[in-house]
Amino acid sequence: MRPDALARRTLLMLGLAPLVAQGAACPPAARLGPGLCDANGDLLADAPADPRQWIDPNPLVMADVPTSDMNARAARAEPFRQHLERLLQRRVTYFIARDYADLITAFHAQRVHLLNVHTGSVEQEVVCGGYVPIAQPIEPDGELAGYRMEIVVPADSPLRRVEDLKARTLTLVDERSASGYKLPRALLEREFQMRAGREYQVNFSGRHDNSIMGVANGLYEAAAVGSAVRTDLLRQKLLDPDSLRVIYTSPLLPHSPWGVSHRLRPQLVEQLRKALVAYDGPDHVLQSGSRFRAADYRRDWGFMRELNRSVGEQPSCR
């Protein structure tokens, strides 16, 4: 057998040949990772041209961004899971990831089929992982649901303004976080001419709740966090409202969409989109509005793409 024929046969066995062929035929304007094509210009990966490369899982596996209490999260998601199961007429199971890396690994391996990802890494997964947002959380008035970045300090801190962070240490979450890394760095540089490592120093806590509780207990001088996490800790009575102060609040960041792999059978994708938009049950996940509408990645995530550019970040598909 000729080497090129052998290579194609191997790719077919791995389910990759149509993806490679499709990627090679992409128009020059398509800015997606290897093997992904955006022929219609919506900035999202198209489904493979060959239906043999579509996936049609039963059971369908859903997953959320991991938090400190995923068992409680899974319990809150139960009405949502049952709703999907009823409308899709197939089993739907809930995957509990150990951490965020575990969630993304499971998605890339097609072991998770419907998920939300960190707000800060939506573009990365769209460009490199074939992630396709299909439903966006909205508020009761139909506006995009989201949260804001806050800079918090201990209640008795002398820090009163963002400018007071000069020569201080700002605790960030991790480099994938929008509200806990990208937005504070971008806004401090753009609005206050303060650069990380020059006007102020940075350390990392790993999680929003770690940052918040660290500030509340005087372990950190200041931290950039997502407002929704602080609000949730207050709701659960895990945080004393008098233990810290907010000295800055950012513009709105959209909540994570629910999305799927571009390889999911298109008819199933449409069924999922309709099921999500039809859902009107109880609030089931931390990063959620009251309802969903069909996602419009180009429009909904324009600010986040601009934010990524402002911190010099381009999706890397290594």
The residue ranking higher by pLDDT, 315 or 51, is: 51
Distance CA(22)–CA(293), nearest Å, equals 30
Does residue 228 surpass a pLDDT of 90? no
Cis peptide before 59 (omega within 30 of 0): yes
DSSP letters of 98-125?
A: SSHHHHHHHHHTTS--EE---GGGHHHH
Does residue 15 surpass a pLDDT of 60? no
On average, the pLDDT of the chain sits at: 86
Give pLDDT, residue 273.
97
Confidence band (pLDDT; 50, 70, 90) for 258?
very high
Give pLDDT, residue 149.
93
Residue 128 is which amino acid? Answer: C
Alpha carbon 139 to its chain centroid, in Å, reads 18
Does residue 25 surpass a pLDDT of 80? no
Give pLDDT, residue 59.
97
Average pLDDT over residues 12-40: 61
Give pLDDT, residue 72.
79
Helices (H) and strands (E) in the chain, counts: 12, 11
Give pLDDT, residue 31.
79
pLDDT digits over 260-271, tens only? 999 999 999 999
12-16, 37-41, 167-171: range with highest mean pLDDT: 167-171
Confidence band (pLDDT; 50, 70, 90) for 36?
very high
β pairing state of 114-115 and 169-172? unpaired
Average pLDDT over residues 40-47: 94
Alpha carbon 130 to its chain centroid, in Å, reads 13
pLDDT digits over 96-155, tens only? 988 888 999 999 999 999 999 888 889 999 999 999 999 999 988 888 888 899 999 999
Confidence band (pLDDT; 50, 70, 90) for 283?
low
Instruction: Kindly report whether the global pTM for this prediction surpasses the value 0.85.
Output: no
CA neighbor of 294 nearest in space, from 137, 134, 144, 143: 134
Phi, psi of 258 (to 5 degrees): -90, 135
Phi, psi of 289 (to 5 degrees): -90, -155
Does residue 87 surpass a pLDDT of 90? yes
**% pLDDT > 90, the chain:** 59
Average pLDDT over residues 208-225: 97
Does residue 252 surpass a pLDDT of 50? yes
Distance CA(226)–CA(16), nearest Å, equals 38
Confidence band (pLDDT; 50, 70, 90) for 289?
low
Average pLDDT over residues 246-255: 91
Distance CA(280)–CA(291), nearest Å, equals 6
